[in-house]
Structure 1
Amino acid sequence: MLSLRFSLFLAFVTAAAAAFIPRLRQNDVQNATSTGDAAGSQCGFEGNSDLYGLGIRLGIYFQWLSAQLCRLLYKEYVVDLDRAYMIFLAAVFIALLVLTGDADSTYDVEVLILMYILICGPFNFISGQLGEYRSIALVNVEFIVVWPATVYSCWFWFVGRESSFLQQPADCGTYGFVFKQVSLRSHSTISFFRAVSVLLAVILAFFHGFWFYLVPLKRWRKDRETNKPVLESIMSWWGPSRMEGRDGGPTDRDDLTKTALSKIYSAFCLVFPILGIELTLKWNSVTGVYTIRSIGQLIPSVTGLAGLVQVIYGILRYVRTFFVIAL
């Protein structure tokens, strides 16, 4: 797939170079009045379009939607999407680290936006499936890319937020999305993000251990009888393999419950980070990130759209083949 490899290369170069491209920031602007009335101040700043411009965001959203469609209807292609997104995330995380160590200060809002991409986005790809279309090696790659982002999030909300690399818009609040508009300066909001960051880091570490140790045990041809019931229960619930005819396998009611939960999970993973990113940009009056006229914005958006079209085409081809066989 030459087009896929070329797309991966473009995504990596674009995201990695974003941290090194000089950018012009627009601090809070006050109206030029002799009275200096505080009510005349204009909040907001010019965002980094090289990291989260409209074209890049659209490309990411197209990837998330493609991943959800693949997980449901076109599992053969989900591995390619997963690998592409992991490479992109690695580049974004490197850019975030460079921004953290850069003398040019950044805004905590920008870090929050990148956290939506780095931490929330991968859950559109990560699932319990392990087998024909998913290997332990791929799970390891996901862990290596996503888990450091959760560790960074822990550092940011506990320590980094008070560091000198951040700047705040003068006389303006900074806001984020946690099911509603919240102030990023609120103690309760900071405590919430601290708790979520630690919880995610622990959960990801636990499930990585699960894939590393319990799944290989499950694949042994000679399972120990003491471990087998536990392993069967874990795999029947977390993994999508149905294991009909085995003791302890899922019932029809279990299947219906898991299907409903899976749909809710998929919708949440897709909608929540998109709302978080777009509302955060809007509430903080971030400018310069709503155009795709430049080549740097056009390429990732077209690449993401092309991937979505390819997924839809594969699904339609599969449906057509299914009906031909049925008839």
Structure 2
Amino acid sequence: MSSSSQPCSFDGNNDIYGTGVRIGLYCQWLATLLITLFTPEEEETVRVLNITINTSIFLGIAVQSAKETNPVEPVIVLFLMCGSLSSLTGNGMSNFSHVSGVFRALFYTALSAYGIWYWFDGLDKMLLQVRSDGQTCDAIGFLGKSRVDGWFRKMGKGLSVAGLVVSVCLIGLCVIAVWKRFQDRFENAMRRPKKQRPQVEIALLVLSGGLIAFSVVVVEYLIRVNGVTGLGDIDAVGQLIPFLIGILELTSIGWKILIKGLFFKKRCWFLFGMHL
């Protein structure tokens, strides 16, 4: 259901989803996608770094949710966290035995659990707080000025429950994969095995690019349509760290692609699991 009134403007949290934080995350998504394509041997290290940044942002919104929080803010952060799923090319979906795979499974389990709390209970408390302040305007949660308490809430509930089920299953797969890896070669348990050629699944590559574009569009739309202000101080300490990390990651992989000619490196292309 679309809104019939105007959304309320409010001051956003600079340190959680400010301009510098968002630019840094967008650069991380693109850099990680390029790394899975051109330098997959660096993928695990970059994923661990990215998940550390994501965890700090997630903890920020989780702590803030215990206080007075605008109902739109958790939705913005959820879309920011989902954007990091974009690097799904090559073997990126099957690294369950690596540190990055374990951390990602744990992170998305916690994120899904937070989503369940927000959609089933937390949203009502946040809306009640907003309305108790005398505000009658809408909180927009999706494209088309869809309210957070309309049809999009039902979809959010379903996606959060499904996400939790999938994440718990992934944790189980990680435990099995790590155990098998330690059994096979204990000394190499936490090191990615070398591959002769990078593997790229075209379908997942297209999905990854689409997910990046979708996440950026939705996040920027929500900030604009809800009139969120006070997010432009990139020189704030909380924004500088993710901003600089994202810029450095993207610059580093871009430099390697150009200087080392990685664009012309041979790789194995797959389409729906079939080698081309």
Same fold (TM over 0.5): yes
Is the CA contact (8 Å cut-off) linking 1:54 and 1:290 kept in structure 2?
Answer: yes
**Structure 1 residue 175 and structure 2 residue 140: aligned?**
yes
Q: Does 1:96 align with 2:38?
A: no
Q: Distance in 2 between matches of 1:207 and 1:264?
A: 23
Q: How does 1:274-285 map to 2 (within 5 A)?
A: 274-285=216-227
Identify which of 43, 47, 51 aligns with 1:78: 43
* Structure 2 equivalent of residue 51 of structure 1: 16
* Cα drift, residue 140 of structure 1: 1.2
Q: Do the aligned partners of residues 91 and 215 (structure 1) sit closer, same or farther apart at CA in structure 2, a change above 3 Å counting?
A: closer
1:44 is displaced (CA, Å) by 0.6
Contact 2:140–2:148 (CA under 8 A) maintained in structure 1? yes
Query: CA shift at 1:89, angstroms?
Result: 1.9
Given that 1:78 and 1:133 are in contact with CA atoms closer than 8 Å, whether structure 2 keeps it comes out as no
The aligned residue for residue 108 of structure 1 is 71
1:318 Cα deviation after fit: 3.2
How far did residue 185 of structure 1 move? 2.0
Compared with structure 1, are the counterparts of its residues 133 and 74 closer, same or farther at alpha carbon in structure 2 (3 Å cutoff)?
farther
Cα distance change of structure 1 residues 302 and 108 upon mapping to structure 2, 3 Å threshold: same
Change (3 A) 1:287 1:131: closer
CA contact (8 A) 2:48 2:99 kept: no
Displacement of 1:47: 0.9
Under a length normalisation based on structure 2, what TM-score does the superposition of the two structures give?
0.76
DSSP-derived class of the 2:175 partner: helix
CA RMSD of aligned residues (A): 3.4
Tell me the amino acid that sits aligned with residue 56 of structure 1: V
1:121 corresponds to? 83
Aligned to 2:257: 315
- Report the 3-state secondary structure (helix = DSSP H, G, I; strand = E; otherwise coil) of the residue aligned with 1:172: coil
Relative distance call for 1:218 and 1:168 in structure 2 (3 A) is same
Q: CA deviation at 1:283?
A: 0.9
- The counterpart of 1:259, out of the listed 171, 190, 201, is 201
Q: Is the 8 A contact 2:24 2:246 kept in 1?
A: yes
Change (3 A) 1:192 1:42: closer
- Partner Cα separation in structure 1 for residue 16 and residue 93 of structure 2: 34
Find the aligned partners of 2:207 and 2:242 in 1 and give their Cα distance: 26
> Structure 1 residue 161: deviation in Å?
1.4
Q: 1:185 to 1:131 in 2, by over 3 A?
A: closer
Higher Cα radius of gyration = 1
Residue 188 (structure 2) aligns with: none
Letter of the aligned partner of 2:29 in structure 1?
W
1:190 corresponds to? 153
- The TM-score normalised by the length of structure 1 is 0.65
Indicate if the aligned counterparts of 2:139 and 2:226 stay in contact, CA closer than 8 A: yes
CA–CA distance in 1 between the matches of 2:56 and 2:112? 16
TM alignment of 1:28-67, pairs within 5 A = 43-67=8-32
Structure 1: runs of 5 or more not aligned: 1-38, 222-240, 243-254
2:204 paired with 1:204? no
| Deviation of the 1:82 alpha carbon | 0.8
| Deviation of the 1:129 alpha carbon | 2.2
Counterpart in 2 of 1:155? Answer: 117
- Where relative contact order (Cα < 8 A, 6+ residues apart) is larger, the structure is 2
What whole-Å deviation, never above 9, does each CA across 1:109-142 have from its counterpart, x for those lacking one?
0011111123x03312466727998743321111
CA contact (8 A) 2:29 2:212 kept: yes
Q: Distance in 1 between matches of 2:160 and 2:208?
A: 21
Query: Pick from 248, 263, 274: which aligns with 1:306?
Result: 248
Q: Kindly tell me: are residues 134 and 313 of structure 1, through their superposed partners in 2, closer, same or farther at Cα, counting changes over 3 Å? A: farther
Instruction: Call closer, same or farther: CA 1:302–1:136 in 2, change over 3 Å.
Output: closer
Distance 1:166 1:111, change over 3 A: farther
* CA spacing shift, 1:288–1:109, aligned 2, 3 Å: same
Amino acid at match of 2:13: N
Aligned residue pairs total 247
Give 1:83 shift: 0.9
Return the offset for 1:165: 8.5
Q: Percent identity?
A: 24
**Do the aligned partners of 2:20 and 2:242 also contact (CA within 8 Å) in 1?**
yes
Is 1:68–2:68 an aligned residue pair? no
